[in-house]
Chains A and B, each alone.
Chain A
Amino acid sequence: MKKHTFRWMIVSVLVAASTDAPAKPPAGGVFCQKYPTSPECMGRQPSCTYCHIAPPQRNAFGTMVSQSLLPGLPRPLSDGDFAAALPSALTAVEGQDADGDGVPNLTEIQQGTQPADPNSKPLDAACQGSDNPQFSVCRYDLRHAYKKVVRDLCGASPTFAEVTAFAARPSDDDRRAFIDSEVERCAQTEFWRGKNGQLWKVAHPKIRPVGSLKEGEDKGGVPLADYYDDYALFAYTQTDDHDAREILTADYFVRRETSPTRYSKVSSLASQKVDLAHRAGNMTSKWSLTYFVMFTALPRNAAAQMYRSYLGLDIAKQEGLYSVASEPQDYDAKGVTAKECAACHATLDPLTYPFRNYNGIASSRYETQYIPNRLEIFFPNVSPRITQTPERGVIFGKPVNDLREWAKVAADSDAFAISTTTDYWKLLVGHAPKPEENAEFVATWKRFKSVHNYRVQRLLHDIVKTEAYGAP
């Protein structure tokens, strides 16, 4: 066989395989119906990469499952056939070990590790060795936790005298109470809430500042918007007795004062333009509309960034896909109905519609504000159907009339509680929750949502009390 003929055969097989095996949006839901207690299903669904390298290419686990999925039936399967057959296909591979790490697939599903990744497997957390004079390595160590709290939240170690005094406290209950009081004390410090403090660090990837475009304080070369307002709202919602959800739902603004830093609620700011009736927290700040909407008719980037930043769902990684039937409509004629695009855009486009009337960069009269009929006024020639774009959208399968309803559904979702808890878990524990920490993590975000009513400062106390934080 000639070399180039052989190459063509390989290409043909790959193309055929790719067209016949698209990722199936129902897969996450079916998986979670079968394994509701899997960590992958705690307030979320597994992303496409659980079974795929990048759809349609499957990983080792996906390949194993597909071989048990209605073998012999012609591909592609309909969504209905796929959803009906997936549970038994999963059952068929439970006892096998797709990634060859010595842990059966079912154990990995139950423990929250990746069945296709040999480097991801449950940790044997058994204590080893004999004694340890400095740490209680097998359980929560109050002395260790105390030093960590002061370092994490105050930004400096306690002194030797303070550590000695802590150890001399009369009881462990007294020590626990003292740690709680230190959390409160440190949460008032500049290190925690001040400019460029820890809260601002949590906010950086959400706000994505650009110094050259900064307006106001620390003005850049091309001043367009003052993102310190966004940091101010973020810090305000994460401190004291404030509701963290208002980062998305706030119909107010926050003023920052310095020396010491204080954040206070106000009904207007000269640096912000969206009217209160259409304000949805940081999603509609001047900076967000400038940077994420810019000049776009349908700002998918804005919707995807909010979904990623505040709900922890990155559509680019095929996370948080809740396909809407008959979507994407492709009102702006970008070609998103193509098979390769539609799997994500069936979720992303309905997420984007509520942004249709929020203007980005424009003349100062029209910039960064809500303008009814914005598409009809400013973008009528983008495509033949652009003006048919509805303001109604869909998030998590729930229809919403506008961006404020979008924000409410988002803020009340498990995804928001999980994402917020993950932010502070990473900040304090030092990494995203590991499979062996999952039980504590789930209990923590559920308490944040129910018991603490979305108060971050109370969440901090809960994280500090976990074994993941306090056991060396």
Chain B
Amino acid sequence: MHRNQLLFVTVLALGIGPSCADKVTAPPDPELLEPPSGPVARSARGNLRFKGPERINQDFAAALELRPDAVCLELGQYSCTGLVHNVALGGVDPYGPGLYESSGVTASTTPLAVERVAWAACTQRVDTDLATPAASVIFREVPLTGKKLASPDGAEVRGVIGLLTQRVLLRNPYRNEVERYVRLAKDIESTGNAEPARAWMQAVCFAILTSTESVFY
């Protein structure tokens, strides 16, 4: 190999290898918001809109860094939001049954479909993060003791709660939200779950993704 070629290959190898900047670090302890002390001002218009299939899929994918076409697939191949649960999530189906317009209201099966999509997205993210900690996206550097969280109220856990809140709800978490999700970790552990760390990660992700604030705007 010529010297120039060798130099080129070396540069390439260095370029695609892990660098110091790529090292996965735990999310920082979030800046906490103080919950309001009394009732907040109510909206006079009350014009809350359900996100619908496309936005839910895109938002879950972006928040958890999943491929939009793989957020949720029934039987591993049929898109939950684009096909199987599209109408339940407020979509239209104009070419077949002639459903030209969305009903405009959420149906009795809509919450089930939202939860189906959120669960698929969260379990994917948790599985991937636990399987490849060096490339984890959300549950980064969360110390474990066996299958348990080493420190349910540690800074890393609070950091994960903060990161999820920022990515899904586009704000920092309230102090009482963090306390609630920390308590959730302890509650799960007390149930005797065989993998309490994984179960907490799935649960906190699911709780935030399916919150009213996440699926309505």
Residue of B at shortest CB range from A134? B171
Q: Is A129 touching B42 in the complex (CB atoms < 8 A)? A: yes
Q: Which residues of B contact A (CB under 8 A)?
A: 33, 36, 38-45, 47, 49, 51, 54-55, 58-59, 62, 92, 94-96, 98, 100-101, 104, 166-167, 170-171, 217
Residue of B at shortest CB range from A214? B95
A163 to B171, CA, bound (A): 8
Given contacts A151-B55, A155-B55, A201-B92, contact A208 B40 (CB under 8 A): no
Q: Is B49 touching A430 in the complex (CB atoms < 8 A)? A: yes
Residue of A at shortest CB range from B62? A156
Q: Is B59 touching A157 in the complex (CB atoms < 8 A)? A: yes
Residue of A at shortest CB range from B45? A471
Q: Is B39 touching A160 in the complex (CB atoms < 8 A)? A: no
A211 to B97, CA, bound (A): 9
Q: How far is the CB of B134 from chain A (nearest CB, A)?
A: 24
Given contacts A148-B217, A155-B55, A156-B59, contact A204 B41 (CB under 8 A): no
Q: How far is the CB of B108 from chain A (nearest CB, A)?
A: 21
Q: Is A157 touching B55 in the complex (CB atoms < 8 A)? A: yes
A131 near B: Cβ within 8 Å? yes
A132 near B: Cβ within 8 Å? yes
30 A–B contact pairs at CB < 8 A? A125-B44, A128-B42, A128-B44, A129-B39, A131-B36, A132-B36, A135-B41, A135-B43, A137-B41, A137-B42, A147-B170, A147-B217, A151-B55, A156-B62, A157-B55, A157-B59, A157-B170, A159-B170, A160-B167, A160-B170, A160-B171, A163-B170, A204-B92, A204-B94, A210-B98, A211-B95, A430-B47, A431-B47, A431-B104, A472-B47
- When distances are taken between beta carbons in the complex, the residues of chain B under 8 Å from A214 are 95
- When distances are taken between beta carbons in the complex, the residues of chain B under 8 Å from A471 are 44-45
Q: Is A138 touching B41 in the complex (CB atoms < 8 A)? A: yes
Q: Is B170 touching A130 in the complex (CB atoms < 8 A)? A: no
Q: Is A131 touching B94 in the complex (CB atoms < 8 A)? A: no
Q: How far is the CB of A50 from chain B (nearest CB, A)?
A: 23
Q: How far is the CB of B117 from chain A (nearest CB, A)?
A: 15
Q: Is A191 touching B54 in the complex (CB atoms < 8 A)? A: yes
A155 to B217, CA, bound (A): 12
Q: How far is the CB of B127 from chain A (nearest CB, A)?
A: 24
- When distances are taken between beta carbons in the complex, the residues of chain A under 8 Å from B55 are 151, 155-157
Given contacts A137-B43, A148-B217, contact A210 B62 (CB under 8 A): no
- When distances are taken between beta carbons in the complex, the residues of chain B under 8 Å from A128 are 41-42, 44
A371 near B: Cβ within 8 Å? no
Residue of B at shortest CB range from A154? B58
Q: Is A204 touching B51 in the complex (CB atoms < 8 A)? A: no
Chain A interface mostly: loop
Partner of B100, one of A129, A130, A159, A205: A205
User: Which interface residue of A130, A132, A156, A431 has the most chain B CB atoms within 10 A?
Assistant: A156
Residue of B at shortest CB range from A197? B54
Q: How far is the CB of A353 from chain B (nearest CB, A)?
A: 28
Residue of A at shortest CB range from B40? A132
Q: How far is the CB of A227 from chain B (nearest CB, A)?
A: 9
A135 to B43, CA, bound (A): 9
Q: Assuming A160-B166, A211-B95, what are 17 further A-B pairs, CB within 8 angstroms?
A: A127-B44, A129-B39, A129-B40, A132-B36, A138-B41, A156-B55, A157-B55, A157-B59, A191-B54, A201-B92, A204-B92, A208-B94, A208-B98, A210-B95, A211-B96, A430-B49, A471-B44
Q: How far is the CB of B69 from chain A (nearest CB, A)?
A: 14
A429 near B: Cβ within 8 Å? yes
Residue of A at shortest CB range from B165? A160
A431 to B104, CA, bound (A): 8
Q: Is B40 touching A131 in the complex (CB atoms < 8 A)? A: yes
A128 to B170, CA, bound (A): 25
A43 near B: Cβ within 8 Å? no
Q: Is B47 touching A131 in the complex (CB atoms < 8 A)? A: no
- When distances are taken between beta carbons in the complex, the residues of chain A under 8 Å from B38 are 130
Q: How far is the CB of B36 from chain A (nearest CB, A)?
A: 6
- When distances are taken between beta carbons in the complex, the residues of chain B under 8 Å from A133 are 33, 36, 40
A443 to B41, CA, bound (A): 29
- When distances are taken between beta carbons in the complex, the residues of chain A under 8 Å from B217 are 147-148, 151, 157
Q: Is B44 touching A138 in the complex (CB atoms < 8 A)? A: yes
Q: How far is the CB of B54 from chain A (nearest CB, A)?
A: 5
Partner of B39, one of A130, A134, A472: A130
User: Which interface residue of B45, B98, B167 has the most chain A CB atoms within 10 A?
Assistant: B45
A126 to B44, CA, bound (A): 6
A440 to B104, CA, bound (A): 22
- When distances are taken between beta carbons in the complex, the residues of chain A under 8 Å from B167 are 159-160
A129 to B51, CA, bound (A): 27
A158 near B: Cβ within 8 Å? yes
- When distances are taken between beta carbons in the complex, the residues of chain A under 8 Å from B104 are 431
A132 to B40, CA, bound (A): 5
Q: Is A156 touching B44 in the complex (CB atoms < 8 A)? A: no
A125 to B47, CA, bound (A): 12
A209 near B: Cβ within 8 Å? yes
A147 to B54, CA, bound (A): 16
- When distances are taken between beta carbons in the complex, the residues of chain A under 8 Å from B94 are 204, 208-209
Given contacts A131-B36, A156-B55, A214-B95, contact A137 B44 (CB under 8 A): yes
A209 to B98, CA, bound (A): 7
Q: How far is the CB of B73 from chain A (nearest CB, A)?
A: 19
Given contacts A130-B40, A151-B55, contact A125 B45 (CB under 8 A): yes
A127 to B59, CA, bound (A): 31
Interface mask (A284-296 → B, CB under 8 Å = 1, otherwise 0): 0000000000000
A161 to B43, CA, bound (A): 26
